Amino acid sequence: MKKFFIFYFAFYLISCEQKKKCDFIYHNSINVFCASGKIENGLESGRFVFTQESNTDSFEEAGFYLDGIRNDMWAYRIKDELSKVKWASYEDKTLNFRTNLFSEIDSIKRGDYFTKFKIKSAQGQLILTVSINSSLKDSFPEKNYQSVVKNEFEKLGYNVLSSNNRIISDRRNKIYVNDVIVKSKNLVESDFVYLKNAFGWLGNDFVDFTVSYTNKNDDKAPILFEGVLTNFYLNKQRLFNPFN
């Protein structure tokens, strides 16, 4: 019954779209999509359908935006299986950022420069930490940022086992994206933590956020990470515009 609902919902989202229609080119940290939808006053609005750029008949994800934020139910194709995520808008009035998060949040913890969210997933727990102007900004040399990332995680008590680093750009901002596998020095050898991290400057402010999880097969982790990356605003300025 659940799979039927997801299939029906996805069919509803894409059924009215003309095939091979591509209004915009959209890119996140790993993929380039053909996007069909509407942008009003620089912000996504209403229904969007994302397909492979090389094959616009291949549905990848679809849902609705409200004022540049993913809203309500979205459908995703993950390894030829359909999955759904319910998004909601979140505004942090202390750190002055706005983004979209999964609608069900277990807990929120706030610090002087960060907000941490614990979010339920069917395959485990996801932890999203958003930091604004953390200490990392003071030790950030652009030419050696891979070493900085490694050192920062080691300061937190992790052994870094592997790290994949890349830079993406929207012609205005450069974002440093890191996929890291670490092991806590206090955990047994079989306990690994997987982290998807991004940071960059937005004007004079340094933005840094991380999604951490312990089940490497949790397909909701990259969905959460890419959703925050492509729809994050600080002081009403967008960190990364996936349509540029």
Give residue 149's pLDDT band: very low, low, confident or very high (50, 70, 90): confident
Long-range contacts of 55-64 (CB under 8 A, 24+ apart): 56/19, 56/20, 56/21, 56/22, 57/19, 57/20, 59/10, 59/14, 60/31, 60/33, 61/33, 62/10, 62/13, 62/14, 63/13, 63/87
- 163's CB contacts (< 8 A; 6+ apart) are 146, 149, 150, 178, 179, 180, 181
Question: Given a cut of 50, is residue 4 above it in pLDDT?
Answer: no
User: Could you tell me the pLDDT band of residue 78, with boundaries at 50, 70 and 90?
Assistant: confident
Q: Are strands 205-213 and 124-132 parallel, antiparallel or unpaired?
A: antiparallel
CA gap 116, 44 in Å, rounded: 26
Q: What domains does the chain contain, in order, with CATH numbers?
A: 2-238 (3.40.1000.10)
According to the model, what pLDDT value does residue 43 have?
96
Digit-coded pLDDT (tens) for 196-227? 999 999 999 999 999 999 999 999 999 999 99
Give the position of tokens 């299986």. Answer: 81
Q: 161 or 87: whose pLDDT is higher?
A: 87
Tell me: the pLDDT tens digits for 18-68?
A: 455 789 999 999 999 999 999 999 999 999 999 987 665 678 999 999 999
Report whether pLDDT(127) > 70: yes
Nearest of 133, 10, 2 to residue 63 by alpha carbon? 10
8: pLDDT strictly greater than 70: no
Please report the pLDDT score of residue 7 as a whole number: 45
Q: Give yes or no for residue 242 having a pLDDT over 60.
A: yes
pLDDT confidence band for 80 (50 / 70 / 90): confident
Half-sphere CA count of 102, side-chain side, radius 13 A: 25
**What average pLDDT score do residues 5-22 get?**
52
